[in-house]
Amino acid sequence: MTQKKSATWLLGVFSQARELSFEAGNMIRRQWPLASSVAHKDRIDLVTETDLAVEKFLKERLLELVPDSTLMAEESYSGEALGEWTWIIDPIDGTTNFVHRHPFVAVSIALCHNGQIVTGIVNIPMLNECYWAVRGHGAFVNETRLHVSHTRALDQSMIAFGIPYSIDKDLEEWISHFYPILPKAQAMRRCGAAAIDLSYVAAGKFDGFYEAGLRPWDVAAGWLLVEEAGGCITRYNGEPYYLGAYDIVATNSLIHQELTGMLLS
């Protein structure tokens, strides 16, 4: 049965979820100076005990915030579909960064209602930056409102990109997208955490970001951040993005056509 909820209710849920993202961030901070036990999900796809501990903590606490909500979380995902209310969680986006103690690691939490993200939180504990958005209320970092950049051309743009764990199999396809953009953009950057890439597009630090092979937990929170900050998100071919789509391109809107044109060339 569809549950109708008020805007005040949603703001309350968001605020409690943000508190939980701070607690999760503190778990990461406490582990920072200590050694982590690392396991391989694949050749270069890692998981640490901290990924698992943060996910367990968030799972238990987030499900209590919205009655009958379900959860889609990276480390325990086993093919569940979205429900009416679903929490979409990446306990640590940037696990490889975490293993190397590079500070670009984020806790990403989104709440999805009937397929639409209604709140998104990307907490970057080692930088003391918490990016967040509530649908219809704008996007923020800590308490500062965000807006995408005003850059109008690719040759004045800083473009972020990702490298999938399947790069050994997908190298040619990956290069075919990177190759034309590299000499045209002003600069290109790789964060190693898609949630941070999207947050930085929302903040106007990056003018655009593209990656293929991402999963819903990598992008759910950042998607809302970019849209609430005035940006645009589509597939490489310009069609509407949906959770689980193979590729994603996020921009300040102004360079969207130029960047998607390069991704298709």
Q: Which residues of the chain form contacts with ligand IPD (CB under 6 A)?
A: 90, 93-96, 162-164, 192-194, 211, 213-214, 218
**Neighbour tally for 115: CB within 10 Å:** 10
Supply 149's token pair. 């950049």
Nearer to ligand IPD, 85 or 161 (CB): 161
- Out of 89, 92, 248, 255, pick the active-site residue: 92
Q: Are 208 and 159 in contact (CB under 8 A)?
A: yes
| Residue 192 binds: one of Ca ion, ligand IPD, none (C-beta under 5 to 8 A by kind) | ligand IPD
> Which has the closest alpha carbon to 113: 29, 236, 7?
7
Whether 95 is catalytic:
yes
CB of 152 to Ca ion, least distance (A): 31
Of residues 48, 50, 86, 95, which has the active-site annotation?
95
- Whole-Å CA distances, 167 to 42, 183, 219: 12, 21, 19
Q: Is 144 a catalytic residue?
A: no
90 in contact with Ca ion (CB under 5 A): yes
Long-range contacts of 76-81 (CB under 8 A, 24+ apart): 77/215, 77/217
User: Residue 183 burial by CB count (10 A; 0-12/13-18/19+): exposed, middle or buried?
Assistant: exposed
Binding mask 124-163 for Ca ion (x = CB under 5 A): ----------------------------------------
CA–CA gap between residue 224 and residue 184 (Å, rounded): 28
Binding segment for Ca ion (CB under 5 A), chosen from 74-82, 123-131, 132-140, 156-164, is: 74-82
- Tell me, yes or no, if 44 is annotated catalytic: no
Radius of gyration from C-alpha coordinates of the chain: 18
Partner touching 94 among Ca ion, ligand IPD, none, CB below 5 to 8 Å by kind: ligand IPD
CB of 1 to Ca ion, least distance (A): 33
Residue 170: strand, helix, or coil: helix
Q: Which residue is nearest to ligand IPD (CB)?
A: 162
Can residue 207 be called a binding residue for Ca ion (CB under 5 A)? no
Closest to ligand IPD by CB, 214 vs 220, is 214
Pairing of strands 116-124, 129-134: antiparallel
Positions marked catalytic: 74, 90, 92-93, 95, 218
Residues in contact with Ca ion by the rule CB under 5 A: 74, 90, 92-93, 95, 218
